[in-house]
Amino acid sequence: MLRDAFFKGVRDLRRSFLYWAVGIAFMVILFCLFYPTVRDSAASVQKLIDSLPAAFKNVFIGQGVSFTSPKGYIDGRILSFMSPLLFLVFAVGLGARQIAGEEEAGTLSLLLSYPMSRRRLLAQKAAVLVVAIAALTVAHFGALVIGVTLEHMNPGYGALLGANVDLFLLALSLGTLSLTVGAATGRHGAAVGVSTIVAAAAYLVNALAPLSHTLKPLQKLSLFYYYGGAQPLSIGVRPVYAGLLLAVTAVLAAVAFLAFERRDVRV
């Protein structure tokens, strides 16, 4: 299990990953179990939602979807806000730990005194990030399948899988941003800070753009726009957008390799 930096990285994650996976699965299933209550009082729930200020509704529930339909409920309750939030915390924290965390802990110097190029180390660290987010997505998807099956929500398993792939790509892009800032600066705080600000701004711009002429043109710069506009199940996955998220990740990763290769490692 300690064969190289990748296997060690995966091994280091064992316990905390279990907590994350169980916690997220629990949340997803719980929300699904709550659906019949909403469905059975659809009219009054919809009325309540319609009475909310538009900005509030867009940020916390989703944009103009029918909250009481199965797809709308899963989007509004799970996929548009809660899941991305939890995935981002996980991915950004993990991304920052890979290089910057190790550097601030003081172990990076010793690691790089071994015959291992920085490129190889970074590749192994990035692989840890990809595998961990993918595994968390599998847990998330599995919980959704259980939840919708229990409550006979039938949103279509293909659409559900597509939404999860999108969630994976979104989390991967922001986790990679965190990894890249960390690899370029060696500072854990900067990596978490920058990525969190970018994520929050992207979310808000996407949510509020339909209400504001000023923000409207910025919506296409938001990563969430390419995550099915934060309603991946209702709007559906578009391969072009998924490809775009992947391209952003690839560019960020390339920057990480270039910057990490050139700079001085801190004591």
Partner 1 sequence: MTAAIVTERLTKSYGKNRGVVDLDLEIAAGEVFGFLGPNGAGKTTTIRVLLDLIRPTSGRVTVLGLDSRRQSLAVRRRVGFLPGELSLYSHLTGEETLRFFANLRGGVDWQYVGGLVEQLDFDLTKKVSDLSTGNKRKLGLIQAFMHRPELLILDEPTVGLDPLVQHEFHHFIAEARDRGQTVFLSSHVLPEVQRVCDRVGFIREGEMVAVEEVSALTGRAVRELDVVFAQPVSPDVFAHVPGVTAVSANGGGLHLTVAGPLDATVKKLAEFEVVTMTSREPDLEDVFFHFYSGRDRAS
The first and second tokens of residue 228, run together, are 């099915």
The first and second tokens of residue 207, run together, are 């949510």
Which one of residues 3, 19, 152, 240 is an interface residue with partner 1 (CB under 8 A)? 3
Q: Is 5 in the site for partner 1 (CB under 8 A)?
A: yes
Shortest distance, position 226 Cβ to partner 1, whole Å: 38
- Transcribe 70-120 into DSSP letters: HHHHHIIIIITTHHHHHHHHHHHHHHHIIIIIHHHHT-HHHHHTSS--HHH
Shortest distance, position 44 Cβ to partner 1, whole Å: 52
User: Which lies closer to partner 1 via its Cβ, residue 96 or residue 174?
Assistant: 96
Q: Is 154 in the site for partner 1 (CB under 8 A)?
A: no
User: Which lies closer to partner 1 via its Cβ, residue 64 or residue 106?
Assistant: 106
Distances (CA, A) of 18 to 11, 13, 139: 12, 8, 10
Distances (CA, A) of 235 to 60, 75, 199, 229, 244: 17, 10, 21, 8, 17
User: Which lies closer to partner 1 via its Cβ, residue 12 or residue 145?
Assistant: 12
Contact map string, positions 99 to 128, toward partner 1, x by CB under 8 A: ------xxx-xxxxxxxxx-----------
Total binding residues toward partner 1, as defined by CB under 8 A: 22
The one-letter amino acid code at 42 reads: A
Q: Is 14 in the site for partner 1 (CB under 8 A)?
A: no
Q: Is 12 in the site for partner 1 (CB under 8 A)?
A: yes
Which one of residues 8, 34, 42, 193 is an interface residue with partner 1 (CB under 8 A)? 8
Choose the stretch contacting partner 1; rule: CB under 8 A; options: 93-101, 130-138, 233-241, 259-267: 259-267
The one-letter amino acid code at 200 reads: A
Choose the stretch contacting partner 1; rule: CB under 8 A; options: 2-10, 28-36, 176-184, 236-244: 2-10
Candidates 15, 149, 167, 20; CA nearest to 79 is 167
Chain CA centroid to CA 216, Å: 23
- 96, 178 in Cβ contact below 8 A? yes
Where does this chain bind partner 1 (CB under 8 A)?
2-5, 8, 12, 105-107, 109-117, 262, 264-265, 267
